[in-house]
Chains A and B, each alone.
Chain A
Amino acid sequence: MIARRLRTLAFATLLLAPASGWAAIPLVVEAALDREVVAPLLEAFEQAHPDIALDFRDRSTLEVDERIAEADPAPDVVISSAMPWQMARVNEGYARRLDSAEARGWPEWAKWRDEVFGFTFEPIVMAYRLDLSRHMMPPATHADLHTLLTEQLELLRGRVTTYSPSRSGVGYTLFQQDARYTTRFWDLVAAMGNADAVLEANTRAMLEGISEGRYWLGYNLLGSYAMVWAQEHPEVIVQVPQDYSLVMMRMAFIHRDAPNPGAAREFLDFLLSRDGQRVIAGETPLFSVRPDVIGPYTAQRLRDQVGERLYPIPINASLLAFVDPQRRDAFMARWQREFERR
């Protein structure tokens, strides 16, 4: 269904805009955000702004980060889930301030300098295959997971998957944040290493592995993708950790050298607006940040379900520490050491 809608969208952008004879303003959005997931939002934007020709380029976080500094012409809007890297770029001065009512009204904890905005609220989850529950009690907390990995080691060997911290910026960020909360995280890393956990570069690969039966258990998946997947793949169960659950936010900013800053402002304003957030809450699993939006996917609703155990990765200067090369090296060294501990 999503695919069909996407095709219509493509037709609309390719045929409709030039045919109507408008000099449509081009708008380039470089995004580390699956097009399929975000399609309803883009469609709504194009309907609201028929004079803007949206060019949404879906890339990996690494590519997006590179293009911020190197693309010529620069993109208009940059969206990425690699929060520390986005933050570093903003600190380097690549972002342009958004001065609008929407920006000013945005919650303080989800923006930085009025330049970069966290516009989604995606919980980090565990996912398991239905088979798992036939053999053992599925994990509901990080401690449960650790216990399972030690007690059911032989059953789970090679059937656990998680992010590769070296190949995925999101994965690295999540592990850094995990390590900030508890030192027992390293026991979990050691246990996963012990169980020969397979490291994947993205959530999709993990979900595909679980559906295919290669993996029984996945750790630190993006809830937004996992929930959509689970709707179409009944063998996959999504579990929001009951002790604490990290929340990742996609961060969007207008590029300093945006060729079309006006259109970029419109786009960002739309992302933050009630209309845009309502689409996010109702038609995507990205979860709306705004407390005044109602729908199945809102931060408020998630809080109601999970309680106060949601820990959004804070959008502030502390993120910059994650991209410090020495700190990263030290973290990776420790990861390797723990993961290979026998």
Chain B
Amino acid sequence: MIEVDGTLKSRLAVWLLVTVSALGALLLIEAYLSSQRAAERAYDSQLESAALTIAEAVQWQEGQPVVEIPAAALQILATRHQERVFYAVLDADGQRVSANLDFPIQADWRKQVDEHPVWTDADNLGAGWRLHGREFDSAGWETQDPVQIWVGHTLAGRQALTGELFERAVTRFLVMVLLAGLLMLLAMRVALNPMRRLRQLLRQREADDMRPFDARVPEELRELAETLDTLFARQRESRDALLRFTADASHQLKTPLAGLQSTSELALKSTQPDEWRRALAAVHDGAERTSRLANQLLSLARLRHVADGSEMRRLDLATLLRETVFEWAERDVAEDHDLGLAKLPSTPLFIHGEPWALRELLGNLIDNALRYTPPGSMITLGLVRHVDEVELFIEDDGPGVAPEVLERLHHPFERGGRQDTHGSGLGLAIVDSIARRHDARLNMAPHTPCGLRVSLYFPLASQEDTP
């Protein structure tokens, strides 16, 4: 089920927007502060010039400082923004020698000015002011007392300059964002192009075209393309396997049917009732074999295509094994062989499994052993408990299987190179399918000194897990 969850474009756009907004906010705050600083610096230096100009006019007459305020100093103070201006010249005792406004100069400001020039903000006479104070040593004939010069002006010019600088910064920023947005749109189109190409390739594919991709993709899409390739490969394999299986099954069914046909034709040509009887017996045998083959094919198909494990339950593997072996030991087919059980562990061994499937598995294993070993061979089944799994084994002392064939033994219609029996070649394939359903591993190894040992490792069901 495909659920559409927004578009990549909108996701990218949202992230971009969030990032740009957050960064932009920081940037604008910084721009405002730096505009303020720049304006502050520019106008503070005017205050300084005015103070210096006034200092130049300070003279000493009869031990008293006298200052003839220069008009230029006031014009510097006022700036082109026509600020209201303030000046005061204080003597060493803090007394006003000259001042134009009744602006209180605080004692701690005066103390600071002793050490270094001071810039400070203050509110007075219904306006905000920026003040600057500095001290000047004087060398008169009668006295060497320093004088303090305080100047100040209102803030219109600073605010105007801050606003102007900030406005410029904002304009630059907005233009940048616009350009970046446009470029980003373009970049998104270009970046998403490979996706479009991949989509087109997929759409153009024929329904049964399972070939790997032939496309140029960026690194980010490589995984997706490879996964698709793997998917195609698996589809291809399973389709091939199905075709092979169908062909093999048809072939296997054809042989006994051809035998039936020829036998019955021969019988029809004969007039001897004895001949008829023999032929009928042969036909009966052939029909029985064919029927068994069809049954096995059906059960394999069932195993392969009925995927749900609804019949899975907790069961004791030892009990199941004992029952099945006893049942087989009593059959006629087992009378020439020595079919037996190894000593079973004393405690029950619980696994999750389907009883019918496990019986089918054991049946196929025993049937295989009976068919592919000479009469008189010893066939032993048993269970070995490991840490978290249980091993079910069956071993014989027959001729064994060539190592190079072992790997393929569980493929359908593989008879280990033997054509001398009536086996269908499906037994181990069924065993393999059932083992897979039970998450069990199938292992086949030569048995020493001779023969074959087939092992199945089932995961143990946990103890607490009661049925």
Q: Which of B66, B77, B84, B125 contacts A330 (CB 8 A)?
A: B66
CB-based contact A317/B74 at 8 Å: yes
Take A92-B125, A93-B125 as given contacts and tell me if A321 and B98 are in contact as well, using a CB distance cutoff of 8 Å: no
CB nearest neighbor in B for A115 = B82
Given contacts A319-B71, A324-B69, 7 further A-B contacts (CB under 8 A): A93-B84, A93-B127, A317-B78, A320-B85, A320-B100, A321-B71, A326-B66
Highest count of chain B CB atoms <10 Å: which of A319, A320, A327: A320
Q: How far is the CA of A317 from the CA of B78 in the complex (A)?
A: 6
Indicate whether B70 reaches chain A with its CB closer than 8 angstroms.
yes
CB nearest neighbor in A for B100 = A320
Q: Which of A88, A319, A327 contacts B68 (CB 8 A)?
A: A327
CB-based contact A326/B68 at 8 Å: yes
Indicate whether A303 reaches chain B with its CB closer than 8 angstroms.
no
CB-based contact B75/A317 at 8 Å: yes
Indicate whether A104 reaches chain B with its CB closer than 8 angstroms.
no
Take A93-B127, A327-B69, A330-B68 as given contacts and tell me if A317 and B77 are in contact as well, using a CB distance cutoff of 8 Å: yes
Take A316-B75, A317-B74, A321-B74 as given contacts and tell me if A326 and B127 are in contact as well, using a CB distance cutoff of 8 Å: no
Q: How far is the CA of A85 from the CA of B447 in the complex (A)?
A: 126
Indicate whether A113 reaches chain B with its CB closer than 8 angstroms.
yes
Q: Which of A180, A319, A326, A330 contacts B97 (CB 8 A)?
A: A326
Binding site for A on B (CB under 8 A): 66-75, 77-78, 82, 84-85, 97-98, 100-101, 125-127
Q: How far is the CA of A320 from the CA of B151 in the complex (A)?
A: 14
Take A318-B75, A326-B98 as given contacts and tell me if A93 and B66 are in contact as well, using a CB distance cutoff of 8 Å: no
Q: How far is the CA of A180 from the CA of B72 in the complex (A)?
A: 12
Q: How far is the CA of A112 from the CA of B67 in the complex (A)?
A: 26
Take A93-B125, A326-B69, A330-B66 as given contacts and tell me if A318 and B74 are in contact as well, using a CB distance cutoff of 8 Å: yes
Contact with B along A298-342 (1 / 0, CB 8 A): 000000000000000000111111011111001000000000000
Residue count of chain A within 8 Å CB distance of chain B: 20
CB nearest neighbor in B for A331 = B68
CB-based contact B97/A317 at 8 Å: no
Q: Hey, which chain A residues are within 8 Å of B100, CB to CB?
A: 88, 91, 320, 323-324
Q: Hey, which chain A residues are within 8 Å of B78, CB to CB?
A: 316-317
Instruction: Determine how close the nearest CB of chain A comes to the CB of B124; give it in whole angstroms.
Output: 9
Q: Which of B67, B82, B97 contacts A113 (CB 8 A)?
A: B82
Take A93-B126, A318-B72 as given contacts and tell me if A324 and B98 are in contact as well, using a CB distance cutoff of 8 Å: yes
CB nearest neighbor in A for B65 = A326
- Nearest first, the 7 closest Cβ-Cβ pairs linking A and B are A318-B71, A317-B78, A317-B74, A321-B71, A324-B69, A93-B125, A113-B82
25 A-B residue pairs with Cβ-Cβ distance under 8 Å, sorted by A, are A88-B100, A90-B84, A91-B85, A91-B100, A92-B125, A93-B84, A93-B127, A112-B82, A113-B84, A316-B75, A316-B82, A317-B74, A319-B71, A320-B69, A320-B74, A320-B85, A321-B69, A321-B70, A321-B73, A324-B69, A324-B98, A326-B66, A326-B68, A326-B97, A327-B68
Q: Is the interface of A mostly helix, strand, loop or mixed?
A: helix
Q: Which of B70, B98, B101 contacts A91 (CB 8 A)?
A: B101
Q: Hey, which chain A residues are within 8 Å of B97, CB to CB?
A: 326
Q: Hey, which chain B residues are within 8 Å of A326, CB to CB?
A: 66-69, 97-98
Q: Hey, which chain B residues are within 8 Å of A92, CB to CB?
A: 101, 125
Q: Hey, which chain A residues are within 8 Å of B67, CB to CB?
A: 326
CB nearest neighbor in A for B125 = A93
Q: How far is the CA of A180 from the CA of B278 in the complex (A)?
A: 153
Instruction: Determine how close the nearest CB of chain B comes to the CB of A80; give it in whole angstroms.
Output: 18
Q: Hey, which chain A residues are within 8 Å of B84, CB to CB?
A: 90-91, 93, 113
CB-based contact B125/A317 at 8 Å: no
Instruction: Determine how close the nearest CB of chain A comes to the CB of B75; give it in whole angstroms.
Output: 5
Instruction: Determine how close the nearest CB of chain A comes to the CB of B14; give it in whole angstroms.
Output: 46
CB nearest neighbor in B for A315 = B82
Q: Would you list which residues of chain A between 180 and 197 have a CB under 8 Å from chain B?
A: 180
Q: Would you list which residues of chain A between 25 and 53 have a CB under 8 Å from chain B?
A: none
Q: Hey, which chain A residues are within 8 Å of B66, CB to CB?
A: 326, 330
Q: How far is the CA of A88 from the CA of B68 in the complex (A)?
A: 17
Q: Hey, which chain B residues are within 8 Å of A319, CB to CB?
A: 71
Instruction: Determine how close the nearest CB of chain B comes to the CB of A239; give it in whole angstroms.
Output: 29
Q: Hey, which chain A residues are within 8 Å of B74, CB to CB?
A: 317-318, 320-321
Highest count of chain A CB atoms <10 Å: which of B74, B98, B127: B74
Q: Would you list which residues of chain A between 86 and 106 have a CB under 8 Å from chain B?
A: 88, 90-93
CB-based contact A325/B71 at 8 Å: no
Instruction: Determine how close the nearest CB of chain A comes to the CB of B67; give it in whole angstroms.
Output: 6
Q: How far is the CA of A316 from the CA of B79 in the complex (A)?
A: 10
CB nearest neighbor in B for A91 = B84
Instruction: Determine how close the nearest CB of chain B comes to the CB of A182; give it in whole angstroms.
Output: 16
Q: How far is the CA of A112 from the CA of B66 in the complex (A)?
A: 29
Q: Would you list which residues of chain A between 196 and 252 have a CB under 8 Å from chain B?
A: none
Q: Hey, which chain B residues are within 8 Å of A330, CB to CB?
A: 66, 68
Q: Hey, which chain A residues are within 8 Å of B77, CB to CB?
A: 317
Q: How far is the CA of A119 from the CA of B232 in the complex (A)?
A: 94
Q: How far is the CA of A256 from the CA of B72 in the complex (A)?
A: 28
Q: How far is the CA of A317 from the CA of B100 in the complex (A)?
A: 12
CB nearest neighbor in A for B72 = A318
Highest count of chain A CB atoms <10 Å: which of B71, B75, B97, B100: B71
Q: How far is the CA of A319 from the CA of B98 in the complex (A)?
A: 16
Highest count of chain A CB atoms <10 Å: which of B66, B69, B98, B127: B69
CB-based contact B126/A317 at 8 Å: no
